[in-house]
A and B are shown apart, each in its own frame.
Chain A
Amino acid sequence: MFSFDERVIPLDVWITTFVDWLVEGYRWFFQMIKWPVDFTLSGVSDGLLATSPVLIIIVFGIIAWRVSGFKLAGFTIASLVLIGLLGFWQETMITLAMVFSSVVFCTVVGVPFGIWAGRSDRVNNILRPVLDAMQTTPAFVYLVPIVMLFSIGNTAGVLATIIFSLPPIVRLTSLGIRQVHPELVEAALAFGATSSQVLLKVQIPLALPTIMAGLNQTIMMSLSMVVIAAMIGAGGLGAPVVLGLNTLDIGLATVGGLAIVLLAIVLDRITQSLATKNRGKKNK
């Protein structure tokens, strides 16, 4: 009788062999990737932890006031004070540093790729399935190879976060570039614009609101990775949630979750008003 049992493709074995081979032979390569992330992350988190909480709260308040107004400034200050009172100030700073680092790298990598995809259909067609895979592959699947390649800790957490939160900024940058009216590009060309002038003087300025929306999405997605990153030993606000989950400490998990939500709302409102403020200026 026919049975699949003897005809199973040993894909899992192949992949294991492949990852093992990568770890063996190309450790230097992955260390090279890890180094700048590590450097940024530890720099930012050390800086945040060394700074007085009062100063950080004031700076956040001022930023919120500048980009939006007193209402958001009040909300920001109240949220941060509440997080501090909940006893999660240090964890919040670490999470903030992780989010900041992953967003920086997502922007550095994502915006150029987005521009490239926005200007070339071929690149867009190649990139699209890759981005789909990055967004839909459950994070747990790539956690294991990441741990194997980068070991555990905050940096590995940031790398996993980058994989997960890179797609929106690439997609929205590409979308923003594509949404620029073809007549405007044509007009620029007719007046003797070079390809880079078209990009710098027409496409990027007009795509900026959309790129900002992508940045906002990227920040939100990296925050949502906080808990998962904690599973591979990343610190920050994810740690108490995971700990609470493992020990069935519902109080700890909930309070940790609350701090994440507060931080998410603060970051979301600030970046969103940054994007809309930008748009307002463009159209006024």
Chain B
Amino acid sequence: MEKIVIKNLYKVFGSEPQKGVKLLEKVKNKEEIYEETGLTVAVQGASFEVNKGEIFVVMGLSGSGKSTLVRMLNRLIEPTSGEVLVDGVDILKMSKAELVKFRRSTTSMVFQSFALMPHQTVLENAAFGLELDGMDKKVREERAMDALKQVGLEGWEKAYPDELSGGMQQRVGLARGLAVDPEILLMDEAFSALDPLIKTEMQDELLKLQDRHERTIIFISHDLDEALRIGDRIAIMEGGRVIQVGTPEDILQNPADDYVRAFFRGVDPTGVISAGDIVRDTQPTVVWHTKAGSPRATLEMLSMKDREFAYVLDSEHIFLGVVSSDSLREAIDQGNGTSKLEHAFIEQAKSVQETESLQDILHLVSSHAWPIPVVNSDNKYRGVVSKNLFLRTLNRAEKGTFFEETTP
């Protein structure tokens, strides 16, 4: 269900912004408009929907208009034209009083620069939104304490912001945002000022919080790794325009244009590409009809095909185990003719889910001789990821060509 719907949103800075919108509709580009009129086009006809309870990342380089865009969602910046519907209500038509109420009850915001009040304690900062709303001191401090607990800042409530590290300050910023219990959380480059380790920690924290309460989060970022890590869906902005909206996979697989493609050049592919993306059904499989399959027949089949490993499935294609010619031979020797296929299963050979990323399965691929079997969520066998395939994928992803030739 859509929580926020943005329709044809424009922001033009300058003295006669409406003129800029008209010119843009006549398909003039923003550089021409700047030269002709001196107007700066910040956001140009943005349209997209944000679903309830998802983390929606707006990605773009600096100057792409993403910070302006997020500020139009609570009218910190007044849009020049367009519509912003939240639960079907156009916030651009709200009166001043309605807007104040909307900001107090429906949205809250986390800032890149933290923007904590230096004259207030951590607790007062966390209670800031509630204080503005005129909530009783005792009640608001209780709720602020609760929010501080959620972000792991118990025991710091009496400190002042300048006594905390950057990461902790942003936790206060996050607590301030959470304390008002908003339906929509706007995060403007919230973690960009933090060093990489703390940044990852905060992203995990955010995902953990999102597990507990599903809020609609609009997250502005210029960091693709971050976007892919936390985003349920991503919008990519360039030069004030939203050029693509989709799940991380969608965007990776079908980049809208060279600009989007260029973004992914620098990405660590192992975090993005999942086992399911590269799985190949190249290995011989044995279907174990009777639950009493024969090791001898399987061994025969392997030697005929000149293969080392076979993947045992049941009639429903559920993955059961992996056997090798060695393990089969051993089972035959020990069993004196009564041995069954299950005695030959290689013990450490476990399957992985198709949704797991290459990063997650790297250690399995590298430490075992057999290609790693991949199953879907119903445990059905989908194929394998071999060392060879893994390395080839890395090589192609590095060159940025992986998604241009997805099908084998």
Contact = CB atoms under 8 A, between A and B. Distances in A.
Interface of A: 181, 183-184, 186-194, 197, 201-202, 205-206, 282-284
Contacts, number: 62
A192 B128 contact: no
Interface stretch (B12-20, B28-36, B83-91, B99-107): B99-107
A54 to B, nearest CB: 39
Interface residues of B, number: 28
A183 B188 CA distance: 12
> Which of A184, A188, A205, A284: most chain B CB closer than 10 A?
A184
Interface string B194-212: 0000000000000000000
B76 interface: yes
A202 B109 contact: no
Please provide the 3 A-B residue pairs with the shortest distance between their CB atoms, ordered closest to farther. A192-B104, A192-B103, A187-B115
B162 A283 contact: yes
Nearest to A284: B160
25 contacts: A181-B113, A181-B115, A183-B113, A186-B111, A186-B115, A187-B111, A187-B115, A189-B103, A190-B76, A190-B107, A190-B108, A191-B104, A191-B109, A191-B128, A191-B129, A192-B100, A192-B133, A193-B132, A194-B100, A197-B132, A205-B119, A206-B118, A283-B118, A283-B162, A284-B160
Contact of A201 (B100, B108, B131): B131
Contact of A206 (B119, B132, B180): B119
Interface of B is mostly: mixed
A181 B113 CA distance: 10
Contacts of A188: 128, 132
A105 to B, nearest CB: 28
B103 A191 contact: yes
B100 A183 contact: no
Nearest to A198: B132
B100 A202 contact: no
> Which of B129, B132, B162, B180: most chain A CB closer than 10 A?
B132
Contacts of A186: 76, 111, 115
A202 B117 contact: yes
Contact of B117 (A184, A192, A197, A283): A184
A187 B107 CA distance: 12
